[in-house]
């Protein structure tokens, strides 16, 4: 199965990605991430997002992919602890010191090698595997053949970028922002000087233009070939972009991953309207296939960025807001209730993949005046209030001869749904994880 990995530069983007069908999201905390200027959530908010994602079986990868100062490495173990205990699924790293510390202190935590590690061949991938890395994100400048070779020879999970911004410099090696403005990309503070306009001196002088700005990557047409190369995770770039962008791009990629897995390469075809939707969300003067099948070339450059057209498609944005950004995804549940005068009251509920939760009460009294009907009982028990549940099926067994106060029915429902919510939200937590003390 191909993993669709979406960016989350904020809690809102995480929810949008989950609602739009991502299999996993990657997000930074308040420190040590390669996007220091994203709306990175505080610890409690991050864990709230982690809980939200896990409700729907969506994995969360935390970015800890900057270079570390020695004093910061001493703080890393304690910084990661609350995220580890809350059940974060993996951590992306760039710094080898961070890799060693996390491997020693959290031996059962999956670690991914960030693209900033510049993994460019199977030998480096194999070395990282021996050091405890479970997945590599190769340098973006590799061809598909080179990526496939890493997968085959190193026998390790491979994650590659399939959509979004490209870096002008070799992955993770740019010092331009640091030299010009004192803001290092390897410390998460890239000012993106490659996106600025520059003039040329001498015979090529003229009006300034985007001399070093690359077009955005869009490899949606290449999806079958990427899958056949053995890539495990398709990664969307964009932690600095809006929740709308995250939702829209995730929706399109979800559609076509599902199409490929259902129909194969023979039935795969990208509709023009979906390609146009991706362009409407963001592109830098057109898209590029990146480095998958070519070394480089002038057609990869965005000579004139068309930024003024974004924010104009109000119908698209209203659709994305309503369907994904502002929506709360529901979990279907099934249940049963027994309210009969000849036995104890019982109610249960279950969500797929979890244990059932139930509550019991004493046998109800026989009705003196008006007995509860099935419709009366269903009206109260099918309410879900502010929970994230929706009833798929609720079976009610009643003899039409008993009476239960409405308040008691409501309390029984709240107890069962509360227990089920606790069961779901606690499933991924590491209350007894392997932490080196």
Domain boundaries, the chain: 3-166+215-325, 331-425
For the chain, list residues with pLDDT below 70.
33-39, 172, 185, 187, 203-205, 304-312, 431-437
Helical pair 406-425 and 43-55, crossing angle rounded to 10 deg: 100
- How high is the pLDDT of residue 432? 54
Task: Give the model's pLDDT for residue 386.
Answer: 86
pLDDT at 305: 60
Contact 78, 29 (CB under 8 A): no
What pTM, to 2 d.p., does this model score?
0.90
Do the Cβ atoms of 161 and 115 come closer than 8 Å?
yes
Gap between the Cα atoms of 422 and 405, Å rounded: 26
Contact 61, 6 (CB under 8 A): no
Half-sphere exposure of 313 (CA within 13 A, CB side): 18
Q: Measure the CA–CA gap between 414 and 339, rounded to whole angstroms.
A: 16
User: CA-to-CA distance for 76 and 85, rounded, in angstroms?
Assistant: 14
Which pLDDT value is given to residue 306? 58
Rounded Cα distance between 18 and 246, Å, is 10
pLDDT of residue 34: 55
Determine the pLDDT at residue 387.
92
Within 8 A by CB and 6+ apart from 422, the residues are none
Residue 435's pLDDT is 56
Please report the pLDDT score of residue 214 as a whole number: 86
pLDDT of residue 398: 94
Distance CA(90)–CA(108), nearest Å, equals 10
Write out the H or E segment, with its range, that includes residue 422.
helix 406-425
Q: Architecture of domain 3-166+215-325 in CATH?
A: Alpha-Beta Barrel (3.20)
Residues 6+ apart with CB under 8 A from 97: 68, 73
Q: What is the pLDDT of residue 322?
A: 96
């Amino acid at each position: 199965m191909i993993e669709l990995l979406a960016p989350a530069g904020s809690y809102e983007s995480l929810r949008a990605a989950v609602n739009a069908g991502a299999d996993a999201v990657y997000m930074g905390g308040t420190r040590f991430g390669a996007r220091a200027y994203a709306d990175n959530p505080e610890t409690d908010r991050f864990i709230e997002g982690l809980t939200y994602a896990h409700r729907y079986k969506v994995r969360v990868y935390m970015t800890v992919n900057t270079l570390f100062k020695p004093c910061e490495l001493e703080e890393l173990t304690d910084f990661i602890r609350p995220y580890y205990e809350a059940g974060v699924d993996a951590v992306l790293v760039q710094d080898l010191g961070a890799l060693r510390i996390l491997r020693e202190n959290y031996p059962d935590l999956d670690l991914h090698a960030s693209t900033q590690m510049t993994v460019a061949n199977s030998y480096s991938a194999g070395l990282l595997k021996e050091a405890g890395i479970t997945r590599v994100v190769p340098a973006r400048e590799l061809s598909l053949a080179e990526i496939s070779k890493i997968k085959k020879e190193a026998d390790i999970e491979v994650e590659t970028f399939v959509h979004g911004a490209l870096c002008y410099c070799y992955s993770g090696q740019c010092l331009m922002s640091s030299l010009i403005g004192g803001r290092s990309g390897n410390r998460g503070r890239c000012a993106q000087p490659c996106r600025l306009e520059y003039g040329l001196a001498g015979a090529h002088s003229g009006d300034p233009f985007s001399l070093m700005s690359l077009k955005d990557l869009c490899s949606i047409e290449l999806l079958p070939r990427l899958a056949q190369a053995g890539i495990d995770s398709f990664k969307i770039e964009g932690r600095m972009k809006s929740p709308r962008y995250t939702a829209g791009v995730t929706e399109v990629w979800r559609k076509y991953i599902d199409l490929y897995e259902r129909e194969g390469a023979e039935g795969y075809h990208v509709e023009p309207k979906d390609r146009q939707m991706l362009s409407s969300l963001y592109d830098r003067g057109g898209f590029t296939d990146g480095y998958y099948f070519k070394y480089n070339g002038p057609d990869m450059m965005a000579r004139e960025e068309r930024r003024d057209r974004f924010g104009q498609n109000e119908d698209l944005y209203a659709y994305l807001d309503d369907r994904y950004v502002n929506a709360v995804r529901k979990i279907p549940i099934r249940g049963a209730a027994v309210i009969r005068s000849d036995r104890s009251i019982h109610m249960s509920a279950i969500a797929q993949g979890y244990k059932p939760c139930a509550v019991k009460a004493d046998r109800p009294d026989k009705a003196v005046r008006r007995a509860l009907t099935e419709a009366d009982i269903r009206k109260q028990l099918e309410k879900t209030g502010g929970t994230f549940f929706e009833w798929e099926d609720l079976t009610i067994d009643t003899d039409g001869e008993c009476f239960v106060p409405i308040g008691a029915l409501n309390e029984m429902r709240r107890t069962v749904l509360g227990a089920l919510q606790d069961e779901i939200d606690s499933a991924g937590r590491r209350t007894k994880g392997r932490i080196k003390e």
